[in-house]
Structure 1
Amino acid sequence: MNNQFYMKMAAENIRKNWKMYLPFIISCISTIMMTYIIRALSTNSGLSQIPGGDNLQTILFMGYIVLMIFSAVFLFYMHSFLMKNRKREFGVYNILGMDKKHIMKMFTFEIFYVAVLSMVIGLIAGTIFNKVCILLIRYMMNASVSLGFEFSLPSVGWTLGLFTIIFILILLVTIYQIRLANPIELLKSGNVGEKEPKTKVFLSVIGFALIGVGYYLALTIQSPIQGIQLAFLAVLAVMIGTYLLFTTGSIAILKMLKANKNYYYQSNHFIPVSGMIYRMKKNAVGLSNITILSVCVIVLFSIAGSIFITSDSTAKTQYPGNFISQVSLSDDMSDTGEEIKSEMSELIDRTGYETNTSVVDYSSHAYLTIPVFETSGGFEVTRDVFFIQGNQRPSSLFLTDQENYNQFSGDNVSLDENEVYIHGVNETYNENTLTLMGQQFSVSEMSDMEEFSIGSETESEIGDIYYIIVPDMEILRQLEQQQQEILEDYSQSTIIFTQVDLGNEVSAEEEIEFGERMELNMENAGMDIVNIDTEVEAVGQMQALRSGVLFVTLNLATLLLLMTVLIIYYKQTSEAYDDKERFSIMQKVGLDRSEIKKAIKSQILIVFFLPLIVTGLHILAFSLLMKKAMVLVMLNQVDLFPIAIICAFLIFTITYVVIYRITARVYYNIVK
């Protein structure tokens, strides 16, 4: 037989099995399109010129690596469903005289057709939607809209190379399976039944316990950033617990239903319960996968939605001026920072003159940050604050002296000796005294204290924030020295924080030029620079982070949603072919179509909506933890995240119901 025969036969096989092949082809097209878009965005020359564009493309490239792995796993998983339902067909070919070499040759052409069709359509769709994504990113980053059209040839090459390798690996794995298969086993593959599984009470209890532990950790972890190990443990415990519950707990529940004679001996209960008991071991893994994928889809869409609706003013609130700098004081404890303030004033005026930029206002003040644990009557300074365990919640102290505070705020604070003013952002400090590293102070609460640091809104979501005013600079430097002795390499110095307001009429280019020249002048002056930033660059970096996370999460969410839908479709189709003969026998012995339809509906409802219920419980348990983690990209607008979760869950539920109605109809038509 020549190659033309195999080519025609392969095309005919795809046509006859289009119900099975179409979802797989859609999967291939979608993954190729998404992978090309992310790769093209990560190398787009226009995006790299936007402030923060370099960071955006770094995030997108990391997302491209993740997407490559997900794409390969996804396509292998989908193809395994496709091949499962064609084993009997290959057995028939073998019995009719086609040896394994001929079957492998025919299947090679099938994969070739699918690969070529998917790559052509996927790259065309990717090229079109890539432009839409570029426009959306430019809109999110407040950049001018480019009307040009860029075709990324290197991205096409990378995408074609990646998916060529994936299709070749799929082909090789399938050929290996065909070579090992026995023709008789292939013919009987659809008729192999499952043994009734045993009830494993111990594993069921472990499953419930693991989910309980995961829920407890998710609800009690105070800082997901510092307690990332516990957050990972919580996710892992819930995932393992979900698999155990579906594989062992579901069987235990079904056997309990079987033991209930009043419930079990009804036609619409007897058939689905008895059938599911025998196949639940196989069903359980699929149901667990659907549940975990559903959770991932909802969380990812929630993240994408909440990032998209977060206003750009969020990042700007973290920067009180167009230019900010942080300079460490010297190790000399007598250094009050006045010399640095005076020098900074001269440098600001000089830099404004050199760059021809109008300086509207500027100010400098000293402050010290100390990470602590809150205790009864004060705060404890310990290295353990950097190694969070259990439910420990760290706090941050921002300290300054009354002279610096008065200069910064314009107030006229007057403190007695050993008296401090304190203001808690999250919690009110209710003690009359404060003990800190062996020093004791009397406390007065200030409810309207001005904040004298940047980033407090972000940090307050991770841990408690307290602003403290001490009587003089000498006490502030003493506290600095004491915390350096305790924290050693983890300690911080007293900082002179300077902010410069250049006015609203200053362009982004002028602001960046001022910042670069100011940094050069400060370096020439020999200052110990901790940080220098401009509002334009900071906001650009935050927008880049948000845009990058948005596009990566959207692509992953879409890919996982597609995987969820196709797993359900293939699972229902596979179940229908397995059940077809069983229901046919029952119909011959007297079961009418209405009773069969009731039994099918009962079985599908159990299989379909059990994962959705468990998904809802998982989302509810982890929503608080996710809200805390979202502070990294949403800053002080994390209150929007619960709304995004609710919307994502409702939309997913509607989608899920639509999938149920479609697959239920497919299932019934096959069985009928």
Structure 2
Amino acid sequence: MNGLFYIKLAKTNLKKNSKTYFPYILTCICSIIMFYVMNSLSLNKGLNNIRGRDGLITILGFGDIIIAIFSVIFLFYTNSFLIKRRKKEIGLYNVLGMEKKHIGKILSIETLIIAFISLILGVLGGILMEKLLYLILLNLLKMKITFSSTVSISMPSIVRTIELFSAIFIVILMANILQVKVTNPIELLKGGQKGEKEPKTSWILSILGVIELAVGYGMALTIDSPLNSLDVFFIAVILVMVGTYSTFTAGSIAFLKLLKKNKSFFYKTKNFISVSGMIYRMKQNAVGLANICILSTAVLITVSTTAALYYGQESSLKIAYPLDADISIENVTDAEKNEVINLVQEEAKKKNVTLKNKIQYYNKKLLVEGEKNSFKTPKIKQGFFENITEIEAYTLEDYNKMESKNVSLKENEVLIFSVVKDFQYDSIIINGLEYKIKDQVNKLKIVNKNKNNIRDKYVVIVKDMKTLNDICKTNKDEKSKMLDYNIFFDISGDKENIIQFSDSLKSSICTGKHHIFRSIYTKRENFYVTNGGFIFIGSFLGLLFTMGTVLIIYYKQITEGYEDSERFRIMQNVGMSKEEVKKTINKQVLMVFFLPLIVSTIHIAVAFKVVSKLLALFGLFDVTTLIIAVAVAVLVFSVLYTVVYALTANTYYKILQQEN
């Protein structure tokens, strides 16, 4: 056959199947744009001078990998819809005398056309979009946007994009050709209409699905410290995902079969038709619906968490930094203390800033483990392992001075301040030393309440320096028996001077092995960069997952339309009116397509506690911000989901009308 014939036939096929191929090509273009933009931004030299650049580049690189993996999986998945719809057409070519190698040529030309259009428009769209998105990124990072904030075309990114997506298209083509090659013409002719056999109840898989969800939910709800239980958390995530697939594929059928066995319920006109139809629908659509559910959950978590991180920055900073800056000198000597104090004063003069609200005091911080009211230092330093509690102790004299109080304590009496959860006991035992709690302190200038702190923390105010030294001496390590020294202060002056002052102190003070300097000003810049990068990636991935969800819904509606057309005729033949049939089918479709949204919302509600704890690792301590972000994300996504359903439902009903 003439080569032009294959080209003409391929173009005709794509045009004839535009209803299914247009969304697919659009998805390919969008995926290419996203990959190119993310890859190009990660290589952008304009980000070199940003504080915290390394972390930002890591975030962008992570987003690049996620987009690549998602593109591979999702384009393969959507291609399966396309091939299923075209099997009858391909089988007809074969029956009419066209050899499978000729069909392979047509598929190759079709793939080449799709790849060419997608890559050209995708790369060009990526180059244009990058300029806009780079400016948006700078704005999210709170960076000044100047005329030099331009973006050049990244040739390495173009090459990587073409390599990745060319490989995807080639492998998809090979899979399609192999499928045609190993399938006989009769099977191809029936492929587009091929339905599932009468669904059987898999009680084992159904029970496993319920158990997997129950165990996954239970693990998520009982994790107090995700930092100490990351392995448990990931197991919970995997169990919930597997449980979702098991429940949709087997559990839904089992539940409907139980309804069917209930004769008093089943043998009613509405219930009879609805339950029978739903059994068939769930068998046909279970995997697709589970995919929609998982993708919807991914959208909600990605968007809500990154938005919460970004918009909760200031409140989180205020919780973490009661005053503008603080210095901690572990196992301090008088010489070290005086050296640091003099250094702070000298740097303040040099940088022309004023230090206010100074607080200076001796203390001791202990990482302990324990039960109830008894705590002891672990034999081996466990760091962030389970059951670790932080106890900070300092004297009543320093407390009265910093809080402007006049409290008194008897021998072996202490005051206690709980950072995370209230202390429920009348006494506290620290490494064998027992102290009676006189009162609970509700507020401190140097520590804020933080219900979302990654570990339990208590501030214990002891009677005098002797008591504080007694606590220090309970440590087995000789150096740990020495006191620590802390300096807190606010800073006023020009912002640039304050940042220079903070940078100078950090570089000079932190040269000491046990010296720690923190400033809200330097932390704020790092926060903006990190969290700006997170919300940028979150928006990208949220858009990517949403695009995947929309496309699956669209293809499911098309598939449903062709499969329901025969059912539509059968229902009319047994005496139901068009309106009754339409109402019945519409009810089933609504239930099927909104079930994933309901289940994904339940997933989010169960995961909320552990997600809020994980976000504390990234500096988000304000749970209220996360609640608002999740609520808004669920509301907006639900509206979007409904709009997408309404739009795709029009295609569904048009197919029904055409086929009947």
Q: Could you state the TM-score of these two structures normalised by the residue count of structure 1?
A: 0.88
* Aligned equivalents of 1:518, 1:589: Cα separation in 2: 85
Instruction: Tell me if the contact between 1:37 and 1:130 (Cα under 8 Å) persists in the aligned partners.
Output: yes
Alpha-carbon shift at residue 442 of structure 1 (Å): 2.4
Preserved contact between residue 462 and residue 468 of structure 2 (Cα < 8 Å) = yes
Q: Where do 1:376-455 residues align within 5 Å?
A: 376-382=372-378, 386=382, 394-405=388-399, 409=403, 415-452=409-446
Q: Does structure 1 retain, via aligned residues, the 8 Å contact 2:369–2:375?
A: yes
Q: What does residue range 645-664 of structure 1 map to in structure 2 within 5 Å?
A: 645-664=630-649
Residues 634 and 26 of structure 1: CA distance in aligned 2, closer, same or farther (over 3 Å): farther
User: Distance in 1 between the 2:299 and 2:381 partners?
Assistant: 34
Aligned length: 654
TM superposition shift of 1:268: 5.4
CA RMSD of aligned residues (A): 3.2
Match of 2:355 in 1: 360
Match of 1:188 in 2: 190
| Residue 593 (str. 1) matches residue 593 (str. 2) | no
Instruction: Look up the SS of the partner of 2:492 in the other structure.
Output: coil
Given that 1:329 and 1:494 are in contact with CA atoms closer than 8 Å, whether structure 2 keeps it comes out as yes
Partner residue, 2:173: 171
Q: Distance in 2 between matches of 1:107 and 1:5?
A: 13
Deviations 1:444-497 (A, max 9, x none): 2252553546xx656853333211122344544543453456xx99x8985433
List 4+ stretches of structure 1 deviating above 6 A: none
1:21 Cα offset (Å): 0.5
Counterpart-to-counterpart distance in 1, 2:387 and 2:170 = 51
Q: Secondary structure at the match of 1:450?
A: coil
Report matched runs for 1:271-282 at 5 Å: 271=273, 273-278=275-280, 280-282=282-284
| CA deviation string 1:562-621 (max 9, x = no partner) | 111211221221232233334335545655422331332132123122223322322222
Q: CA offsets, 1:606-652, max 9 Å, x none?
A: 31222233223222222233233232345232212112222222222
User: Could you tell me which amino acid in structure 2 is paired with residue 244 of structure 1?
Assistant: S
AA matched with 1:601: N
The change in CA–CA distance for 1:384 and 1:78 in structure 2 (over 3 A counts) is: farther
Change beyond 3 A, Cα 1:259–1:442 = closer
**Corresponding position of 1:370:** 366
Cα 1:59–1:497, aligned 2, differ >3 Å: closer, same or farther? farther
Amino acid aligned to 1:505: D
Report if aligned partners of 1:370, 1:492 keep a CA contact under 8 Å in 2. Answer: no
| Partner residue in 1 for 2:552 | 567
Q: Deviations over 1:269-322 (max 9, x none)?
A: 545543443564342222222222222222222223323432535325534566
- Say if 1:421 and 1:190 are closer, same or farther in 2 by CA, change over 3 A: same
Q: CA–CA distance in 1 between the matches of 2:488 and 2:288?
A: 57
The amino acid of 1:666's aligned partner reads T
Q: Give 1:438 deviation, angstroms.
A: 0.6
Conserved in 1, the CA contact under 8 Å of 2:256 and 2:279? yes
* Aligned: 1:496 with 2:481: no
TM-aligned CA distance change 1:669 to 1:493, over 3 Å: farther
What is the aligned partner in structure 2 of residue 238 from structure 1? 240
Shift of 1:387: 9.1
Q: Which amino acid aligns with 1:611?
A: P
1:328 to 1:126, Cα distance in 2 relative to 1, 3 A: same
Whichever residue aligns with residue 431 of structure 1, its letter is: Y
- Answer whether contact 1:52 1:543 (CA < 8 A) is retained: no
Give the aligned partner of residue 198 of structure 1: 200
Show the counterpart of 1:668: 653
Separation (CA, whole Å) in 2 of partners of 1:204 and 1:356? 68
Greater Cα offset, 425-434 or 601-610: 425-434
2:172 aligned partner, one-letter code: I
**SS of corresponding position for 2:12:** helix
State the one-letter code of the partner of 1:342.
N
Deviates more, 1:112-121 or 1:443-452: 443-452
Residues 182, 594 of structure 1: alpha-carbon distance in 2 compared, 3 angstrom cutoff: same
Change beyond 3 A, Cα 1:130–1:520:
closer
Work out the CA distance in 2 between the residues paired with 1:431 and 1:194: 63
Q: Which moved more, 1:428-437 or 1:564-573?
A: 428-437
What is the CA–CA distance in structure 2 between the aligned matches of 1:122 and 1:266, rounded to whole Å?
54
Deviation at 1:20, TM superposition (A): 0.5
Judged with a 3 Å threshold, the aligned counterparts in structure 2 of structure 1 residues 413 and 548 are, in CA distance, closer, same or farther, namely same
The one-letter code of the counterpart of 1:345 is I
For residues 505 and 316 of structure 1, the distance between their equivalents in structure 2, rounded to whole angstroms, comes to: 20
Counterpart amino acid of residue 238 in structure 1: V
- The equivalent residue for 2:614 is 629
Distance (whole Å) between structure 1 residues aligned to residue 618 and residue 125 of structure 2: 30
Shift in CA distance, 436/666, structure 1 to aligned 2, threshold 3 Å? same
**Secondary structure at 1:346's aligned position in 2?**
helix
SS of 1:219's equivalent?
helix
Q: Distance in 2 between matches of 1:433 and 1:74?
A: 59
Moved more, 232-241 or 436-445: 232-241
Give me the whole-angstrom Cα distance separating, in 2, the residues matched to 1:203 and 1:217: 21
Matched, 1:216 2:218: yes
Say which SS state the counterpart of residue 361 (structure 2) adopts. Answer: strand
Q: Is the contact between residue 419 and residue 450 of structure 2 (CA under 8 Å) also seen in structure 1? A: no
SS for the counterpart of 2:150 is coil
d(CA) in 1 for partners of 2:303, 2:258: 37
2:629 aligned to which of 621, 637, 644 = 644
The one-letter amino acid paired with 1:149 is: T
The residue identity in structure 2 corresponding to 1:297 is V
Secondary structure at 1:46's aligned position in 2?
helix
Query: 197-206 or 99-108, which moves further after superposition?
Result: 197-206
Q: Who is 1:334 aligned against?
A: none
CA contact 1:295–1:619 (8 Å) conserved in 2: yes
Question: Partners of 2:492 and 2:481 in 1: how far apart?
Answer: 32
Percent identity between the aligned chains? Answer: 37
Question: What secondary structure is seen at the aligned counterpart in 1 of 2:417?
Answer: strand
Aligned partners of 2:8 and 2:469: how far apart in 1? 85
Letter of the 2:439 counterpart: E
In structure 1, the gaps of 5 or more residues are: 331-336
Deviates more, 1:319-328 or 1:231-240: 319-328
* In 1, Cα distance between equivalents of 2:67 and 2:14: 28
SS of the aligned residue for 2:320 comes to: coil
